[in-house]
Amino acid sequence: MRPGLFSRQKQDFSWSVPGLSSKKSEELSVIVFSDKGAGQAHRTDAVQNTENTGMTVFSNPCSDTSRQDNTSAFPAMIEWATATNRAIAPMEFPDALHYLMKDQKMTVEHLEETSLISTRTIIRLSNDPDYGVTREHIVALSVGLTLPPIISMELLRKAGLVMKNTMRHNTYCMILCEMYSCRIEAVNQFLVSLNIPPLTRLGAKM
């Protein structure tokens, strides 16, 4: 694990999507990177707050106006993702998932909360190389673990999956690229607004 890895807080999704309300600008959630986190993944809601000393606060990347604010975080994120990709490269999918959970200090129970994948399924995914990994699993895991596209695309490759040129799969690609730091509930709401089912059975019950 890379020393000084940033901590990341989940965000509400704030694009204007049919059936999905936007928050006021002053209520936008933020992504927080801290050099004191050592890989700790904090999964609580956040609002803009620049009073945290020793932290850099970035606006919601789902907002066009905040992309420039987030640019300074990208080098650290890319450095971490590159090192992580190198570490999981020789691993099969279960070992790679186990590594990512350990890196994020994420328990099975906590990952169930952030991905809405059942604990039973997470255990199977992280232990059984013959378990049938789906695209929906990988999208939900990427949101639950806040994995940038550099990592999620590698997970797709390990699972032997590709995204086809369909509305659903292209939407999944958009989520992996643009919404991986959002809350899983917001991601599922976005999917439903496009007449696409939630990613998991637990998500469908929300």
Q: Please, how many CA atoms are within 13 Å of residue 114, restricted to the half-sphere of its CB?
A: 29
* Burial state string for 14-45 with b = 16 or more CB within 10 A and e = fewer than 16: beebeebeeeeeeebbbbbbbeebebebebee
> Quick check: 180 pLDDT over 50?
yes
Q: What pLDDT does 166 receive? A: 96
Per the structure, the complete domain to which residue 186 belongs is given by 75-205
Please name which of 179, 176, 148 lies closest in space to residue 162, comparing C-alpha atoms: 176
pLDDT at 184 over 50: yes
Residues facing residue 57 across a β-bridge: 32
Q: What is the pLDDT of residue 10?
A: 60
- Whether 63 maps to a domain, the answer reads no
pLDDT at 9 over 70: no
Q: What digits encode the pLDDT tens for the residues 35-73?
A: 333 333 333 333 333 333 333 333 344 444 444 556 677
Convert the pLDDT of each residue in 131-144 to its tens digit: 999 999 999 999 99
96: in domain: yes
Residue 22's pLDDT is what? 42
The verdict on residue 137 lying in a domain is yes
Task: For residue 64, give every residue at least 6 positions away whose Cβ sits within 8 Å of its Cβ, in sequence order, or none.
Answer: none
Q: Is residue 48 part of a domain?
A: no
Span of 5-19, 45-59, 71-85 with lowest mean pLDDT: 45-59
Mean pLDDT of the chain: 76
What is the number of structural domains in the chain? 1
- Three-state DSSP class for 75? helix
Q: Does 153 map to a domain?
A: yes
Per cent of the chain over pLDDT 90 is 59
Q: Supply the pLDDT for residue 74.
A: 79
Tell me the pLDDT tens digit for each residue of 136-165.
Answer: 999 999 999 999 999 999 999 999 999 999
In a domain, 200, yes or no: yes
Asked whether residue 183 is domain-assigned, the answer is: yes
Q: How confident is the model at residue 205 (pLDDT cuts 50, 70, 90)?
A: confident
- Is residue 8 within 8 Å of residue 42, measured between CB atoms? yes
Whether 35 maps to a domain, the answer reads: no
